[in-house]
Amino acid sequence: MHGLLSNRRLQRLLPSGSWYVIAAPYLWLLLFFLIPFLIVLKISFANIVLAMPPVEPVFVWTQDQILQIRLHFSNFAFVFGDDLYIEAFLNSIKVAGISTLLALLLGYPMAYGIARAPNGWRNVLFLLVVLPFFTSFLLRVYAWLGLLGRNGPINGVLMHLGLIHEPLQLLQTDFAVYIGMVYSYLPFMILPLYSAIEKLDLNLLEAAADLGCRPARVFMKVTLPLTKQGIFAGCLLVFIPAVGEYVIPALLGGPDTLMIGRVVWDEFFGNRDWPVASALAIVLLVLLSGLVLLLQRVQARGEAIHE
């Protein structure tokens, strides 16, 4: 065995160990991640038919050995021509944007507090932020179903205090969707903010204060610019998944809460229109890929600074 492996000639013929290390995950991702996208792209140009699968082939061999490629642009024309889809895209961006802003406003002071907490406390608080992320996402969204309901405790407390006389319609509103989004994605906001604030050199803040800078100005001129990277990463990590979210609008939103993830789901499962669902997915993908690349660059820069 040993003799065989140390045989140089044989070693040169076989791929080296590093080849296998790279190839196994690489091939997996090519087959199960990249190729599927090419298929989505292909189907987005196909025609719908009543069959299983409900799409017409795009590549067809004719009898004279000619490969015909039939690309139908009608799905994209349909998507861009229908106000419903445009509205769903715009509304997804609006909902994700507002949710991101709310998460930042709540997350920044929390991350600040955790990073500046006494040593023993810091780990505990950090764990408390991460813990909900480990408990079921679906069940955490579900928890709000009970809280926000007509007979739920929130309406109960408000009525008891005499602030309202009739239960408010909280569920099936955009308000409920915002709550669900901020609730689910807050840890994603806090984690990058925390690591940015923790790295902050306190001497800089002290120096600014010593030079007569007022606290609010120190925050605006020193703290905020130095934690810019964390803010950026946190916002992208909340915004990107929020745009395509399905579960939260489906459970907490009303029938008129149009979000693109939900529209893709309904086209696919409800209307069985695979080509239109694919076309919508492609448009969403193009929309988000710019943001994903941006996120990668922000993280790479963060790593470079760290090193």
Interface positions, 64-93, toward another protein (CB under 8 A): none
By CB under 8 A, name the one of 107, 192, 234, 253 that touches another protein: 107
By CB under 8 A, name the one of 35, 60, 69, 84 that touches another protein: 35
By CB under 8 A, name the one of 93, 98, 101, 145 that touches another protein: 145
By CB under 8 A, name the one of 11, 135, 169, 271 that touches another protein: 135
Note the Cα 7 to chain centre separation in Å.
Answer: 50
By CB under 8 A, name the one of 85, 144, 194, 232 that touches another protein: 144
Which burial class, exposed, middle or buried, applies to 241 when counting CB atoms under 10 A from its CB (0-12, 13-18, 19+)? middle
Contact segment (CB under 8 A) with another protein among 32-40, 63-71, 83-91, 227-235 equals: 32-40
Q: Binding residues for another protein, how many (CB under 8 A)?
A: 86
Instruction: Find the binding residues for another protein in span 228-287 (CB under 8 A).
Output: 237, 240-241, 243-247, 250-251, 261, 264-265, 268-269, 274, 277-278, 281, 284-285
Residue 176 interacting with another protein (CB under 8 A): no
Report the alpha-carbon distance of residue 20 to residue 28 in Å, rounded. 12
Cβ pair 271, 50 in contact under 8 A:
no
Contact segment (CB under 8 A) with another protein among 15-23, 65-73, 77-85, 224-232 equals: 15-23
Dihedral pair phi/psi, residue 151, rounded to 5°:
-100, 10
Residue 225 interacting with another protein (CB under 8 A): no
Cβ pair 45, 71 in contact under 8 A:
yes
* Residue (of 104, 131, 111, 110) closest to 242 by Cα position: 104
Cβ pair 232, 298 in contact under 8 A:
yes
Rounded to the nearest whole angstrom, what is the least distance from the CB of residue 43 to another protein in the complex? 6
- Give the contacts of 34 (CB within 8 A, at least 6 positions apart): none
